[in-house]
A = this chain, B = another copy of it.
Amino acid sequence: MLQNATVKSVVKRLPIYLDYLLDVMKNDSNVKYISSKKISDDLSLGEVQVRKDLSAICGNGKPKLGYNIEKLTNTIEQYLGCNHIKKAVLIGVGKLGSAIIAFDEFKKYGIEIIAGFDIKESGNVTDIPVHLFNKQNLKKIFDQNEVNIGIICVPKQAAQDVCNTLVELGVDIIWNFAPMILKVPKNVLVQNENLAYSLSIVSSVINNNSKN
């Protein structure tokens, strides 16, 4: 069922479907089936695209009825690994770092931040301990836990160093908020959250609109 070949463009839409389906079920727990037409209308997507996306990950739609909404939800959650707990550490507990730690949506995808690290030790942020950042302290946590994810919220000057340390300790994926491109070995994946790049789009859109 979980074909690795499922393309990136489809995976990117899965959380959109998931949010939508959860919402539909919350609003009316009697709905058992939902059609691709309704989904596509509500989400402003192409009808065929929805059908093709869904058939790529489950393909248990019933002609005349649509998709069993509960089954579909479960399939998407399974595909996204929502029920498989993954542990993360976050480095750089400044304003952004604390905001991320407090971010509500981690549980939804089965991700748990088990510790924060900062060059200033600073107690707790909403239950999660913040340790002094150094290799020994970090290693201790990695020895006691299987840590999959490293979240980088340090200033960009420090980001590559922090990244190297995380890679050395064995994270699989880095969620990077530092506005720069990190160098990592091929087996590590970097998911960039480059706010500056988004900002550049905001800026260019206004710039070019006002030229019209």
Residues of A participating in the B interface, judged by any CB pair closer than 8 Å: 2, 4, 11-12, 14-16, 18-19, 43, 79-82, 84, 86, 94-96, 98-100, 102-106, 108-111, 148-149, 172-173, 175, 179-181, 189, 191, 193, 195-209, 211-212
Q: A99-B96, A198-B193 are in contact. Are A203 and B82 (CB under 8 A)?
A: yes
Q: Are A79 and B111 within 8 A (Cβ)?
A: no
Which residues of B have CB within 8 Å of A181?
16, 43
Q: Give the number of copies in the complex.
A: 2
A202 touching B95, Cβ below 8 Å: no
A-B contacts, 6 listed (Cβ < 8 Å): A84-B207, A94-B99, A95-B98, A96-B103, A105-B179, A175-B202
Identify 5 new A-B residue pairs, CB closer than 8 A, beyond the known A95-B102, A175-B202, A191-B201: A2-B211, A4-B211, A14-B200, A148-B206, A173-B206
A79 touches B205 (CB 8 A): no
**Given contacts A19-B180, A212-B4, is CB(A203)–CB(B102) below 8 Å?**
no
Q: Would you call A195 and B195 a contact (CB within 8 A)?
A: no
Q: Is the CB of B206 within 8 A of A202?
A: no
